[in-house]
Structure 1
């Protein structure tokens, strides 16, 4: 055992022991965060506009501070972007995380010195937790790669801006700098395919032990490696031990990854966003991610099926229940207040509080009142892959409300790396899983309002070509898993193996 791996084990043990204090007292930790945020926010323009000086309880806060998304918070953000101080948080942010917008164009999410510190700490603690649990630390002596956006930052009125992953690249600890790949020069390449080709040149002969990134983009890296060397990734990188990912559910990709790697490797799921770092997987043999309740973020939850009501009930952590789909609302030490990040979560444990990401509050299918969410389609896909031996690169689901013939249905557009031998069985497993999980969908099928789902095959590489065509290829971009309209489904029509029916 090297001195570095021994030090990592000792450090991991100390950090995990420290974290047990807030893990065992989550409600107190959240109350402390709540009070600290209010104290900091009282002298800001937002705090003055929303009577922070008179707020004592969560009920007071909910009465004075409405839930907002980015569009509704934008008037305050615009003031920060234009250089004003003490608007959402004391002083100014040190960064803006620039993300794709909707009606307002680019979104500028403020990041403060305090919030980036928690982001970095959470990333570190996720790995340290793995070391403490498994007692494995030899991987710290190998090379680590983080597939991310360019670290080159622009500047707007004295505040640096860029993609979150690019900002994070500036915070790699000194003790990992020698282990970290790719080089700074390669990391700055904007074109994703060119960047992956250069990453392969820098990593193919190295002792790679940790690989991290959004699964769909790591998949491209693995596929190019396998094609070039005619070897499984696990054979090429014999000490590859740990895959770290976030941004999407890994399960639909797991079979494909294990095929590319040639063996199983340990993995850690993260739940980061430009707005904050919310959770990480803390147990290798348990589902779900530990909610970080002491990380400068105060959480609220609104039942997803009530979210679009006029006055939905806002719940604190102490009031949540298992298995309910909640919209996640946050207030943060970057000056986001009662902010709807758009993600939905479900709790799978209350001691400790552990969540899974169930989808996006705006990403669902309910063209006929079925209320289908991402978690359900991803679980159905996992079962279909397991039941048929198929390998799936990517997929999306959309309603077909106006078919040429017969009843409407849900269309599953699937790009297979390895098609199932029995395509009917594949579709049957999907259908049965959806009906079992979603009683509304089952009722619509039973009542002959919908006919069973249909699988439409997308050509190999079709989703990548589509993402390129809309300028969202690589980096943090990912295919939307499902939608209540046919914008994506219609956009990919030119990439089908056969004309749609």
Structure 2
């Protein structure tokens, strides 16, 4: 009965979803007006004349597009407790995500408005959509097993116990409304443990006897958990533990490489998979069609969108497009203005529109090279710094390199990892030492990579493959790209480039 009541309650959001599908431009213009009205008396509101209710074009002319580094001076003041800087009031919670060029981690404000009008509203919309797509599954009759991170005191306010920083999943869980907490497992004291090995073990034991209907989390960690549960239960697959399991809401990393593993772990024709795009900056999109991986862009959740065309990615003052101006099939960098006080913020993600009625997207990557097969979010700045440190430690010199994921294998205890193909000018006398320093430096630079590497729980140590001199030039020549304007793709979530290079040395 409770499941039926919850289903009825969340499905009331279906009308709102249909409205922004049918009237996207009007909804986005209203979102911008509401954001400007709410923030008009903040420092930034007064500086940029929000009270004038500028049009989208005037708004874009008044405020420059900013990266995290460029916005950080204002964000640091918010972190330290100043009120009414970017958004009304003082912000207590901050989502901590992977580092930038000048910091190990970055901190994104999570305001009361962004929690309730963005993350939680989108969560209700995702739940309503799931109940519509899978009515026979009765997903709200069971528990949703959600894996999240952890949170800790705000290092900028060590004496203020109510101000916290953490993974966005942990911030969301800690502040969940009662209805959502009722359908979730495990309890917060387990879900928010900061020691991942202990967390996986204790959660696995706790949920053995829970009626789990939905999984929610990053595929990387979910595989580790499901494997441990099957070990503890002494069964061949997870359906023997949870016969009512019907849905996995996944995000953060590409799901393709994990699909076969989940099919083996959950060999049920009734199992559904839906992708979500919930970033530290906001809940942006989710999959609303079970047979199509495109994501419905969420338009009435306190986020106003702009889009940078590909030819403007590296421009100092990039030209942006509004939603009305985007085209199918082209890659755009996302720019967000949000109810967390991010104004024309360049998030770093790139998307491609696959539909304009309604607006659906696919995530195509980052504006910079990156490696994020397991949620580690290694960017090119991390890789360059780690390579440089390894060279200094071993007296070696690198000519070129590329790195790609080693995905989870089908073996019960297999782990993911990274493979680095490196062409040296001066090779290290001790390759193992080079690899160790590379790994250690990445862990120092990138908190997400460090978390995945902890005790080899999700990522094992990197694998170094030394390739002969001239290998990368040969690869470029075969591609017809040999020349000064063409560069080796340093980091990739696909093994395509790496496998082509490895074929040259066989």
TM-score by length of 2: 0.73
Partner of 1:445: none
Separation in structure 2 between the aligned mates of residue 326 and residue 178 of structure 1, nearest angstrom? 39
Partner of 1:11: 9
What's the CA shift for 1:207?
1.9
Q: Is the contact made by 2:186 and 2:203 (CA closer than 8 Å) also made in structure 1?
A: yes
Check if 1:186 corresponds to 2:190: yes
Q: Secondary structure at the match of 1:238?
A: coil
What's the CA shift for 1:122?
0.6
Q: Secondary structure at the match of 1:63?
A: helix
Q: Is the contact made by 1:289 and 1:355 (CA closer than 8 Å) also made in structure 2?
A: yes
Cα distance, 1:151–1:75 mapped onto 2, change above 3 Å: closer
Partner of 1:148: 148
- What does 1:317-328 correspond to in 2, within 5 Å? 317-328=323-334
Q: Is the contact made by 1:396 and 1:414 (CA closer than 8 Å) also made in structure 2?
A: no
Deviations 1:97-120 (A, max 9, x none): 223332134322112111110211
What's the CA shift for 1:153?
5.3
Separation in structure 1 between the aligned mates of residue 72 and residue 325 of structure 2, nearest angstrom? 30
Identify which of 277, 282, 287 aligns with 1:271.
277
Q: Secondary structure at the match of 1:100?
A: strand
Cα distance, 1:176–1:410 mapped onto 2, change above 3 Å: closer
Q: Is the contact made by 1:271 and 1:280 (CA closer than 8 Å) also made in structure 2?
A: yes
Check if 1:126 corresponds to 2:118: no
Partner of 2:70: 72
Cα distance, 1:178–1:319 mapped onto 2, change above 3 Å: closer
What's the CA shift for 1:33?
0.8
How many residues get paired?
416
Separation in structure 1 between the aligned mates of residue 41 and residue 260 of structure 2, nearest angstrom? 52
Cα distance, 1:153–1:213 mapped onto 2, change above 3 Å: farther
TM-score by length of 1: 0.74
What's the CA shift for 1:150?
2.4
Cα distance, 1:224–1:393 mapped onto 2, change above 3 Å: farther
Deviations 1:272-314 (A, max 9, x none): 1111111111121222111111111100001234210244320
- What does 1:165-204 correspond to in 2, within 5 Å? 165-204=169-208
Separation in structure 2 between the aligned mates of residue 475 and residue 150 of structure 1, nearest angstrom? 16
Separation in structure 1 between the aligned mates of residue 150 and residue 219 of structure 2, nearest angstrom? 18
Partner of 1:25: 23
Identify which of 195, 210, 215 aligns with 1:206.
210
Partner of 2:105: 106
What's the CA shift for 1:154?
4.8
Separation in structure 1 between the aligned mates of residue 16 and residue 307 of structure 2, nearest angstrom? 27
Partner of 2:165: 162
Separation in structure 1 between the aligned mates of residue 227 and residue 2 of structure 2, nearest angstrom? 32
Identify which of 299, 303, 308 aligns with 1:302.
308
Cα distance, 1:193–1:478 mapped onto 2, change above 3 Å: closer
Check if 1:249 corresponds to 2:254: yes
Deviations 1:452-483 (A, max 9, x none): xxxxxxxxxxx999987976224999989xx9
Q: Secondary structure at the match of 1:473?
A: helix
Deviations 1:377-426 (A, max 9, x none): x9xxxxxxxxxxxxx9999999999xxxxx9896645345159xxxxxxx
Q: Is the contact made by 1:328 and 1:340 (CA closer than 8 Å) also made in structure 2?
A: yes
Partner of 1:473: 451
Q: Secondary structure at the match of 2:13?
A: helix
What's the Cα RMSD here? 3.8
Cα distance, 1:154–1:352 mapped onto 2, change above 3 Å: same
Separation in structure 2 between the aligned mates of residue 218 and residue 197 of structure 1, nearest angstrom? 12
What's the CA shift for 1:347?
0.9
